Structure formats: C-alpha cells, structure tokens
Structure 1
Amino acid sequence: MNPSQPAPFGLVPGAAGSPVLLHVPHSSRTVPHDVREGILLDDEALESELDRITDSHTADLAARASAACASTPWRFVNGLSRLVVDPERFPDDREEMLAVGMGAVYTRTTLREPLRPPGADPEPLLDRWFHPYARAMTAAVDERLAATGRAVVIDVHSYPSAALPYELHGTGPRPPVCLGTDGFHTPPGLLARAEAEFARFGGTGLNSPFPGTYVPLKHYGKDARVSALMIEIRRDLYMTEPGGPAGPGLGMLASALAALVDGLTDE
C-alpha cells in the first residue's frame, strides 16, 4: 500500500476509558478499479455477489450503537469489500475456508463459481491490504490494553436467512442472532450479557452457522486480557435481502448493542 494514500480502513476514536472495540470488517461494497480488473465477474454478476457477500448496514449499526452509548466505544471499520481481501481469515493454509476458495483472498464466489483466474497470485493483495489491516487492528487492541488494562473486541456481522453454497456449516441452526465464541477469549460473563441483550429478537444460538471470533494473532490464545465475541445478525431481522435497504429492526438492534457495550464498559 502506498503510504501517501489514506488507508481504506481505520479506527474511529471512542472514549478514553472504554475497553470496547467494535470491529466491522465486512460492511463495504467498495472494490478498487485495479482489483476489479482481476475479477472474472461481469458488472451485473459482481453486484449480485456483493449483495450476497456483504454484511450490509453493519457499519451503520455500529455507528448508531456507538452514538447511543453512555461511554463511546472505539470502532475499527473496513472500507473495502471482503472480495478484495478478507481481513478475518488466516493468510495461510490454517484457514478452513480455503476448501471453498474463500481464504484471505477469495478465488470462488458464494455460489462456488470462479471469482479470480486459476493460479492468480494472492501475495500482492495480501501485502497491499491484508497485512496493513492486521497491523492496524493489532495496534488498536494494544492501545485499549495500554489505556484500560483490557480490550473487548465485538465483531459486528450479518448473515443471510437462507444458506449459501459456500457455507461449511450451512445445515445447522440459523437463529436470529448467532453468537460466535472462542474457548480462550470469550468469558462466560461476556456471552451471558450478549444472550440477555439479544434475546428480545427471538433468541440466540452459539457458533451456528458461523463459529469463532476475531482476535489479532499477536494476542490469540496468549493474552486473556483480550476478550472477544462475534455477533452475527440474521439479515431478515433488519433489512430486505439480499442487498436491499435497512428497516426499523436496525435501530432496535443498535439499541441492544449499545446496552451490551455499556454493560461491558461498566464492569
């Protein structure tokens, strides 16, 4: 990435004493022109793929929740589509999504159709976007640790009401709100708070259809001061699928997220 160009992702400051970092990695539909040239889809097919793959309105959800909080959380927001790089994947063969062509750099679509030419080199995209993103997110977590002695990473995602072909766990439950957890980084109290706040939407489920949560590799499995939870909201709760406008459910979800954040900040 050219250092003279602004990063397409960034940290939105919150309150100095807040340990909470809302992470929004998949909300954008932006694909730079030069990256678009390496994608096999025509314009219509690309727009359809963006409808399916984008966690639409989640950046707005996080922004609304932040504005409603008594103590504003920090936000780390990706300004590029996950079709450029997916910052939440491992950059190597540890990533199980490689089986369906959806590692750090996707080679297949949600319909398992070719997205990039066979043998396309992922390294330029990793060097330009993935690694700088990882460094910046790591720094954001380090800053919360230095300021407050702890960091709470809340991943804000959404998922379609009907399973897509790429999903490895698509035959499992699809609750209104899926909570992704990690055995080391998700303490029982964090999970219980989220279950209580999101129960009003018809219930929550654990790790289905999407398991796990995001923690920078520097801290993953090593630093218990970093806690984390992934919130996956089923899209029919707040928007017209697959890529349509948001509805009134967005505001109600933002209120629940704000209540969760305030509870975590007051611990």
Structure 2
Amino acid sequence: MGETGFPADWTADPRDPSRHREVPFQIRRPDHQFVPFVFNSPHSGSFYPEAFLAASCLDRQSIRRSEDFMVDALFGSVGALGAPLMRAVYPRAYLDVNREPYELDPRMFSDRLPPFANVRSLRVAGGLGTIPRIVSDTAPIYRSPLRVEEAMARIRDIYHPYHEALSGLLLETHETFGQAVLIDCHSMPSHLKGVSARSRPDFVLGDRFGTSCMPELTEAAVQFLVAQGYNVARNKPYAGGFITEHYGRPYGGLHTLQIEVNRALYMDEAALAPHEGFDDLRANLEGLAQALIETMGTFSLPLALREAAE
C-alpha cells in the first residue's frame, strides 16, 4: 500500500480488454473501508477520444478548460483515511455525469430528440447539458451538429454505468455503516467573465441550501477551511449539481456535500500544470477530509452513547 492508502494508483491505460474500449470510471478502494465516506471526482476525466477531438472546432488545450484538472489527485489521500475514491475517465466536455441523464440541447443535433429529453433546463440553456455545447463561458465545441444516436450511445455506455457504480458504492457504504456521506469534488476557474478575481472565494461549499446533508457537516467544513486561512462561500455561485441534488437525502442517512476548489490555489490555468501550491493544498484537503470524518463519527454513535458523551 502506498502513501495514499490505496493498494495501487490509477491504471495508466483505462481500457477494458474484454470490451476493447475505455471504461467510464475508475475506483480506488483502500484495503479496508472503515469510514462511511465516498469521495467522487466526476469532472477530472482526461481521456479525449480522437474522433471527438476531430469533430471539435477547439484545439486540445482549449477544450480542456472545463476539466477539473487533477482534482482526483488533490483528494488522493483519502485512501489513508479508509475511504474509496471514484473518478470519471471521460471529460465533462464529452459527457457530463453531473447532469440528468437526458439534459440535451436540440440545437446541437441534426435529428429530433426523444420526447423524454429535458430540453428546457437552465443548464441546457447555458450550453452545459449532459452533452455540452460549449466549454468555459462561450466557446462552442462542435464543428457541425451531432446525430442523436451518438448522444444516446454516450449516455448508455458512460453515464448509466457511472451512476450504477456510484449508487453501488453508496449503497454498500450505507449497509455497512448505517449511513453514507458522498463528497463530490470539483474545481472552479479563478476568473469568470465580468467577475473580479479578487471576489472569487477559495472554496465554495454546496449543500443545496441545507437540503443535501446535515448542517453540521457543512459547518465543520467551513470552520476547518477558515482556520487554514481560506475564504469560503456557501452555495453561491455553486449550490451543487445533479449529483448533490440526486444523492443527498439526509433524512435517509445519505449526505452529499459538493466542494469547489479555486484552481488558482494549485495550478497554472493557462499552462494546465500544477504549481508550487499543489502539495500544500493536497495536505489541507486531507485535513478537511479528516475533520469531516470526525464530525460524522460523533453522529454515528448510538443515541444512548451520544447522549452519555454529551
């Protein structure tokens, strides 16, 4: 077992030899899961199919602007704490698993979408549906319209297997511990059009305005990060996407918290490379994970023991 607590690192080649294509996700498990936590990085995928790049009007560097660069590595220490870590293989520019399965923009396709497609969501209107139309603020991805069958194939082969695996991890965790906590890990650009870089927080914690997890979990994250000197915001501008909303059911013992990290803390955004702040941030995120685990440990005690401890 390495210093991350996982038996092995991500495989260098994500191909499944039995299917002759890339798997849609990878999961690193510790030798033994001894905490009710699952960490997930749905936007750090970096496998760009050549056919996708050929169909794009963007170069490889530009199309990566929406990627949560190395977020899976930033949270790579959670294995030492006894928690599994899941990540996407394909990038969000190709297919976004943090959306409803069929949030699709009819303007992107040469033929008609099925009637069950959600064509009116705000995310679709903004060009950021399940099959995104743009990266960054406004840069269009495709040279020409797609066939609907192409979108359906991506959803079938990537989206549904991803969520089946994530649901399975959470169910397994809930059955083992009586509860499960999903930490959904993301990064955000340090600059947005029309927004001063100085006004961008270091972290944004999204709990769907208090509906996706117990408030003590969010408060523990705020207190830890502020103590490290970070500027922290809650729910604005990111309250949590589909994953946070869909899996967060605190009344059923399933808590979901989204964490957005300002990319300026750890990377050169133009060069797409980590800088000298990467290791310090990674260490602080391990401390954050430990603080959240300790917080949930208090609430994992049977009620009688908890009352005695208080």
TM-score, normalising length from structure 1? Answer: 0.84
Residue 28 of structure 1, CA deviation: 2.6
**1:203 corresponds to 2:226:** no
Native 8 Å contact 1:160 1:242 kept in 2: no
Tell me how far apart the structure 2 counterparts of residues 185 and 31 of structure 1 sit (CA, whole Å).
32
**Secondary structure of the equivalent of 2:132?**
coil
Native 8 Å contact 2:212 2:245 kept in 1: no
Unaligned runs of 5+ in 2: 1-14, 104-117, 298-310
Native 8 Å contact 2:248 2:256 kept in 1: no
Alignment of 1:36-51 (within 5 A): 36-37=53-54, 39-42=55-58, 45-50=59-64
Query: Which of these two proteins has the greater Rg computed from alpha carbons?
Result: 2
- RMSD over aligned Cα, in angstroms? 2.6
Alignment of 1:1-267 (within 5 A): 4-5=19-20, 7-14=23-30, 15-37=32-54, 39-42=55-58, 45-50=59-64, 52-63=65-76, 65-66=77-78, 69=80, 71-91=81-101, 92=103, 93=118, 95-116=121-142, 117-118=144-145, 120-121=147-148, 122-164=151-193, 174-182=200-208, 183-199=210-226, 200-213=228-241, 214-215=243-244, 217=246, 219-221=247-249, 224-266=252-294, 267=297
**Secondary structure of the equivalent of 2:129?**
coil
Tell me how far apart the structure 1 counterparts of residues 82 and 90 of structure 2 sit (CA, whole Å).
24
- Could you tell me which amino acid in structure 2 is paired with residue 236 of structure 1? A
How many residue pairs get aligned? The number is 255
Residue 151 of structure 1, CA deviation: 1.1
Residue 242 of structure 1, CA deviation: 3.0
Native 8 Å contact 1:84 1:105 kept in 2: yes
Residue 17 of structure 1, CA deviation: 1.9
Tell me how far apart the structure 1 counterparts of residues 42 and 264 of structure 2 sit (CA, whole Å).
20
Residue 223 of structure 1, CA deviation: 5.4
Structure 1 pair 36–74 and aligned structure 2 pair: CA distance change class (3 A): same
Query: CA-to-partner distance for each residue in 1:115-168, whole Å, 9 max, x for gaps?
Result: 233353221211121111111111111111111111111111111111159xxx
Native 8 Å contact 1:20 1:261 kept in 2: no
The one of the two structures with greater contact order (alpha-carbon pairs below 8 A, sep at least 6) is: 1
Structure 1 pair 171–211 and aligned structure 2 pair: CA distance change class (3 A): farther
Residues 1-10 or 140-149, more deviating: 1-10
Native 8 Å contact 1:17 1:147 kept in 2: no
Residue 235 of structure 1, CA deviation: 1.0
Unaligned runs of 5+ in 1: none
TM-score, normalising length from structure 2? Answer: 0.74
